[in-house]
Structure 1
């Protein structure tokens, strides 16, 4: 599996998604710096993320179903720590 992360919150996102969805590829990008001064910005950092994930679990699933699976895996973090999450979820072989 290919994984890219930085920081403790990004690492926790990666850990939870790996456990729940067994991705072939996972990139967690911290977008927080681009949101300084905006609503939801957290001075601790690591509050805004983009997740690019490829998993066989997504085969035959709609975009909304894929996002729900990611959101379920990260529910506690989304409630307590992460303000915004952009999700790019694909099944293997999808462009």
Structure 2
């Protein structure tokens, strides 16, 4: 399973998002710290879930990072998190 697929599966099972987009941005970081041949090192997560309603931005980001802890310690060098309103509309 690819890193992207693992991130998607873990976020889906933990947060049941109304919208989820996991984007591999590794190609934008070629030659930068943490970049590795084959990519899958730099990701952007766009997520909308009622699970985050009422939580501060910091708490939302901590929740995502806690779920992805193993990947952040192993393969993923950078993770950008965008939490969208759970009611949408969602842009791809």
TM-score (norm 2): 0.90
**1:14 correspondence with 2:8:** yes
The equivalent of 1:81 in structure 2 is 75
Unaligned 5+ residue runs, structure 1? 1-6
Q: Superposition pairs for residues 1-95 of structure 1, below 5 Å?
A: 8-93=2-87
What CA distance in whole angstroms lies between the structure 1 residues aligned with 2:88 and 2:19?
A: 12
What is the total number of aligned residue pairs between the two structures? 89
Q: Do 1:58 and 1:90's aligned partners in 2 also have CA atoms closer than 8 Å? A: no
What CA distance in whole angstroms lies between the structure 2 residues aligned with 1:61 and 1:72?
A: 15
Structure 1 residue 90, shift from structure 2 partner: 2.7
Give the root-mean-square deviation of aligned CA atoms.
1.5
Unaligned 5+ residue runs, structure 2? none
TM-score (norm 1): 0.87
What CA distance in whole angstroms lies between the structure 1 residues aligned with 2:16 and 2:79?
A: 19
What CA distance in whole angstroms lies between the structure 2 residues aligned with 1:11 and 1:46?
A: 10
